[in-house]
Amino acid sequence: METILIKVNREKPEQESIARAGKIIRDGGLVAFPTETVYGLGGDALNPASSRRIYEAKGRPSDNPLIVHICQWESMNRIARRIPEEAKKLADAFWPGPLTMILPKTDSVPKETTGGLDTVAVRFPSDRIAQEFIRASGGFVAAPSANTSGRPSPTLARYVWEDLGGRIEMILDGGEVGIGLESTIVDLSGSVPMILRPGYVTKEMLKDVLGSVDTDRTIWDQNCRERPKAPGMRYRHYAPRGVLTIVEGRPDRVAEEICAGSRKAKKEGARVGILATDESLEKYRAESAADSIKSVGSRTDEDSVGRSLYRILREFDEEEISVIYSESFSDSGFGQAIMNRLLKAAGHRVKNV
């Protein structure tokens, strides 16, 4: 299949391109589009055949449910059977934006879209291209991240092309996304609101609105015997091709350990990459033997780290890096989302020094 790649102006999306993309979705096809978090792979959420095609294009297990993207609050009535007070409060505070809510679903949402579950994940993105595309598509777009299963989510249209070119009808290229990590997921279908995936809307922000909120304990405890409540969190995800180790501890010791590890791996014939920060870059340049040293952003600006993390993991792949060392990040605020994705990329390989 030939994939059409179209550049779209984020401030003023070209209506002809949006209409063309919307028609593809209404006809049962697939279109990748930018959101404020990562690129999504969209299909008609109310059409079971479209959802089946999404799983096929991504190579994703079909028991891993999709998020339904809407472009107005009123659309909730069509897909959510019960809308608790908490949902209204969260929507007032964070929609449109990088927050996904899980609610009991109506019969309008096919089981193919929800991976067989009785609940549906709903998100109202703030990206202008996303909103206009969803409207042109009929208002309900099922969209997982637009990567092939197991690769980092795409933050640029080029990465969507690499993973899905030839398998989908169209890619809308709106440039680099703003946040870079997937939305926060909150489950409102149970008795207590529960975070299933940390994201840009932090636990603290949710607490301010809801009073209290739980976190799925499987997110941080890799030895926990329970199954993660978001099926997607079960799979090894966001994995670079190289073996990634996170080094945690006092900054000077971390740098020493990473330099020593990198020299050793180099001697053993590895191609070594270091994921550093603006603050530490020079130290590695001077003392490590690494082939590729990259800053993921500044420690004084966590947003910059979130925005670049997946791009840098992909760049290490392009450079055929086989051993990667990374510094670790704070485990509060947006740092929780950064550490969650980094830990998954590392298969929870952490060295404390």
* Least distance to Mg ion, CB of residue 145, Å: 3
For residues 242 and 273, is the Cβ–Cβ distance under 8 A? Answer: yes
For Mg ion, the closer of residues 50 and 145 by Cβ is: 145
* Least distance to ligand TXA, CB of residue 70, Å: 11
CA distances from 190 to 71, 88, 110 (A): 25, 16, 21
Q: Which residues bind ligand TXA (CB under 6 A)?
A: 35, 37-38, 40, 64-67, 100, 102, 114, 117, 119-121, 123, 143-145, 182-183, 185, 196, 229-233
Could you say which of Mg ion, ligand TXA, none residue 177 binds, taking C-beta under 5 to 8 angstroms by partner kind?
none
Query: What number of chain residues touch Mg ion (CB under 5 A)?
Result: 1
Output the residue with the shortest Cβ distance to Mg ion.
145
Contacts of 160 (CB under 8 A, 6+ apart): 32, 39, 41, 146, 147, 154, 171
* Least distance to ligand TXA, CB of residue 206, Å: 15
For ligand TXA, the closer of residues 28 and 150 by Cβ is: 150
Q: Of the ranges 144-152, 245-253, 300-308, 344-352, which one interacts with Mg ion (CB under 5 A)?
A: 144-152
x/- map, 146-165, Mg ion, by CB under 5 A: --------------------
For Mg ion, the closer of residues 145 and 202 by Cβ is: 145
Question: Burial, 284: exposed, middle or buried (Cβ in 10 Å; 0-12, 13-18, 19+)?
Answer: buried
For residues 80 and 104, is the Cβ–Cβ distance under 8 A? Answer: yes
Output the residue with the shortest Cβ distance to ligand TXA.
232
Interaction of residue 37 with Mg ion, rule CB under 5 A: no
Could you say which of ligand TXA, Mg ion, none residue 123 binds, taking C-beta under 5 to 8 angstroms by partner kind?
ligand TXA
Alpha carbon distance 207, 173 (integer Å): 35
Position among 35, 51, 113, 145 found at the interface with Mg ion (CB under 5 A):
145
Could you say which of ligand TXA, Mg ion, none residue 120 binds, taking C-beta under 5 to 8 angstroms by partner kind?
ligand TXA
Could you say which of Mg ion, ligand TXA, none residue 64 binds, taking C-beta under 5 to 8 angstroms by partner kind?
ligand TXA
Structure tokens at 50: 């479209």
For tokens 């780290």, name the residue.
Answer: 305
For Mg ion, the closer of residues 37 and 328 by Cβ is: 37
List 343's β-bridge partners, or say none: none
* Least distance to ligand TXA, CB of residue 40, Å: 3
Could you say which of ligand TXA, Mg ion, none residue 160 binds, taking C-beta under 5 to 8 angstroms by partner kind?
none
* Least distance to Mg ion, CB of residue 60, Å: 8
For ligand TXA, the closer of residues 96 and 232 by Cβ is: 232
Residues at the site binding Mg ion, with contacts judged by CB under 5 A: 145
